[in-house]
Amino acid sequence: MPQQSSKENPLFNEITKHLLEDEKPSLYLNGLLQDSRFSQYPFKMLYDLKGTKQSPEHHPEGDAWNHTLLVVDTAAKLKELSKNPLIFMWAALLHDIGKPRTTKIRKGKITSYDHDKVGEKLAIEFLESLVDDHEFIDEVTNLVRYHMHILFVIRNLPYADRKGLLKKTDVREVALLGYCDRMGRTNQDKRQVRKDIEQFYHIMTK
């Protein structure tokens, strides 16, 4: 557990327990929508994922909350592959926290440009209001910042920050979170997803 000192928050502790112990944390998390604490700051940043629309082409599973629940459940199955399951599971939960602020309709398409960068800032604000462990905050929020980089790297897109990724994160952790992110969609080809993750890992470690 992160060092919480004077900021210890019961709901943060509850969520942490379910993220680490539940086979399907989504069952608990979905119930939080009815908990008044979850609609208050800072948890409202997550609450607002409910109803945040996503492109039906890329996210047929529905809104950003449905997607997040699928990602968290996938991560729960794979968390023992992470070097730090606590950091990994919180990154899975917070990875799209930037979408409510960035989602717009452009030329008839639903987009969420820069939700990774905005999400990093919001995740820092979220966690700093709850815990005092800055190493924990840095590691979680760096994964939020770089969770889109599998796509950026394998497509050689100009906004791929490879140096920053290598400096601030562990490539294996980004790859694992990226796999969960992709598998948190209901239209994914698992074989293609694995191929993309392997390509990303090869490029970043060669």
126 pLDDT exceeds 70? yes
List all residues 6 or more positions away from 41 whose beta carbon is below 8 Å from its beta carbon: 129
Residue in 44, 95, 40 with CA at minimum distance from that of residue 67: 95
Contact at 8 Å (CB) between 79 and 23?
A: no
pLDDT value for 3: 53
* 55/179 Cα distance (integer angstroms): 19
49 pLDDT exceeds 80? yes
pTM of the complete model: 0.95
Residue where the block lists tokens 């990226």:
178
In tens, the pLDDT along 100-121 reads 999 999 999 999 999 999 999 9
Q: For residue 56, what are the CA distances in angstroms to 46, 98, 147, 159, 186?
A: 21, 18, 20, 25, 10
Contact at 8 Å (CB) between 125 and 78?
A: no
Residue in 199, 179, 201, 144 with CA at minimum distance from that of residue 70: 179
Residue in 130, 125, 101, 32 with CA at minimum distance from that of residue 72: 32
More confident residue, 4 or 111: 111
More confident residue, 58 or 27: 27
Mean pLDDT, rounded, for 135-151 = 97
- Domains defined along the chain, listed by start: 7-205 (1.10.3210)
10 pLDDT exceeds 70? yes
At CA 71, angle to CA 194 and CA 170, rounded to 5?
Answer: 60
Confidence of residue 124 (pLDDT cuts 50, 70, 90): very high
Contact at 8 Å (CB) between 64 and 96?
A: yes
In tens, the pLDDT along 166-200 reads 999 999 999 999 999 999 999 899 999 999 999 99
pLDDT value for 8: 77
Contact at 8 Å (CB) between 89 and 198?
A: no
Mean pLDDT, rounded, for 65-90 = 98
145 pLDDT exceeds 60? yes
Percent of residues, the chain, with pLDDT higher than 90: 92
Identify the sign of the CA torsion 118, 134, 160, 52: negative
Q: If you write DSSP's letter for every residue of 28-96 in order, what string do you get?
A: HHHHGGG-GGGGSTTTHHHHTTTT----TTT-TT-SHHHHHHHHHHHHHHHGGGSS-HHHHHHHHHHTT
